[in-house]
Amino acid sequence: MHNMKKAILFFCAISTVKAVAQDSTINKVPFDNMDMTWQNGSDRRTSQVLQTKYFTGSVMLDANYTYSFNNPIDNTVVGSTALARNNEMEVSAAAIGGDFNYDNAHARIMTQFGTRSTLVPRNDYSVYRGQYDLASVYRYISEAYAGYHFNVWYGINVDAGMFMSYIGLNSYYQVENWEYQASFTSDNTPWFFNGLRVQIFPTKNLKIEPWIINGWQSYGKFNTMPGFGANITWCPNENLKLLTNDYYGSDAAMIPDRKRFHSDNSLLVRYYKSMATKGISQMAFSLTGDIGFENGGGVKAFNGDSATPSQYFLSAMFYNRIWFHKNKFAWTIGGGVMTNPGRYLVLYPTGDASPLPNPYNPTQTIGTHPFSANPGDQFKGWDCSTNFDWMPNQSLTVRIEYVHRHANVPYFAGRGGVTSPTGYTTTPLPASWAPDLVKTEDRLIFAILFRL
């Protein structure tokens, strides 16, 4: 009887240990108890309002008025994925959706309406392959994926669908960014991926995330090869974040021999934090550097010549942010540089200057007055900006921002605009007319950013 009692007690002890181990596995949360609300490109909220057991809702609204000192007659913004209209009030983004979860299964759906539903899909030329108009099918969806969470280490998520990219540091949602008009580094790299991702959290401070995707910001595939990539994020403590994003694919339509590589790397440091109720509450900076290239199919990465031009991407951006009065106010200043021979990642000017793919020669573009994007074409640009934010609570940001951008070739909309002599698409184009592109632009941005 004594031995039976010992056996029962031993069995109960083992069962308790197993239950505790299982509970500890389930309760392991990556980056738990770390303040990451200060980071550029991250959610600054400390709590979720629309939260239930099985669903966490999200509502976002981005409304802005941008004043262009170039004052184009058609009010069209060129070279931006955040802004569409000059000198007008616009709703850039209106999004609603959220996260669903049940018994380790999860899904996320976010809709998108506003000018961004036109701005971002237009940069994907994979939609010209085949039918069913992918640009329209996906236009009003920013995120849509489902997957399963495995209770291994600090968690493993396997997801399939459309999800946000990390390349360029900035978030697709402006309410998460320190600046409104992204620097060239972010604005010329992907905002979304369509495919499969696996998020692996081997420790509390580390995420390893491989991707198998259709391609570089593409709804479909340009050739037969999918794109491959990965994100690695390491936060040794709440004041430091390092991440790298790397990509390899074939993204030149009908040129499968041309391969693309891109490496995006960022460092974020919060170098001051105070609990004082007045004065400076925290200070931080973000630094991002990108290197990429295309090779094969008539181009080479570096040291090209007239027969085989160089086609690469080099860029960097730096921002410093200071928060005041318990994070109710903030001031940000920064900017960046970019060089992209071949212009294979440059946002094409909008309006009549926007090129269409040449069906007979995928290395060229066609149109009435297309912006040239042939191998060997040079593009260099730099930008700087500063803004001031008022954040009365965790859901609202009111921002005023000044932006200066410069390119080595005519690129931004000048006074004559990029649409027609009158600025209206209904006006016939005279033979002598051409889009008015200039090398420099200055603008003021007033934005109201809401998130619940």
Reading the chain (452 residues) residue by residue, the pLDDT tens digits are 444 444 434 344 434 433 333 444 456 888 988 899 999 999 999 888 888 999 999 999 999 999 999 999 999 999 899 999 999 999 999 999 999 999 999 999 999 999 988 888 777 888 888 888 888 889 999 999 999 999 999 999 999 999 999 888 999 999 999 999 999 999 999 999 999 999 999 999 999 999 999 999 999 999 999 999 999 999 999 999 999 999 999 998 889 999 999 999 999 999 999 988 789 999 999 999 999 999 999 999 999 898 899 999 999 999 999 999 999 999 999 999 999 999 999 988 876 555 555 544 444 445 567 788 888 899 999 999 999 999 999 999 999 999 999 999 999 999 999 888 999 988 888 888 889 999 999 999 999 999 99
> How far apart are the C-alpha atoms of 221 and 214, rounded to whole Å?
5
Residue 49 lies in a domain: yes
Q: Distances in Å between the alpha carbon of 187 and those of 101, 167, 205, 316, 337?
A: 32, 10, 28, 12, 12
Residue 39 is assigned to a structural domain of this protein: yes
Q: What is the CATH number of the domain that holds 229?
A: 2.40.160.10
Closest by alpha carbon to 310, among 298, 323, 301?
301
What pLDDT does 392 receive? 96
Query: Is there a domain that residue 233 lies in?
Result: yes
Look up residue 168 and give its two tokens: 């360029």
Give the pLDDT score at 356.
55
Angle at 323 between CA 317 and CA 328, to 5 degrees: 130
Domain count along the chain:
1
In a domain, 329, yes or no: yes
Written as one letter, the residue type at 342 is G
Find the domain containing 315 and state its range: 31-451
Strand 437-438 with 312-324, pairing: unpaired
CA distance readout (Å), 297 to 235, 255, 294, 341:
40, 6, 9, 15
| Domain-embedded: residue 311 | yes
Distance, in Å, from the CA atom of 17 to the CA atom of 298, rounded to the nearest integer, reads 63
Are 129 and 86 in contact by the 8 Å Cβ rule? The answer is no
Assigned domain for 4 exists: no
335 within some domain: yes
Examine residue 158 and state whether it is found in any structural domain, yes or no.
yes
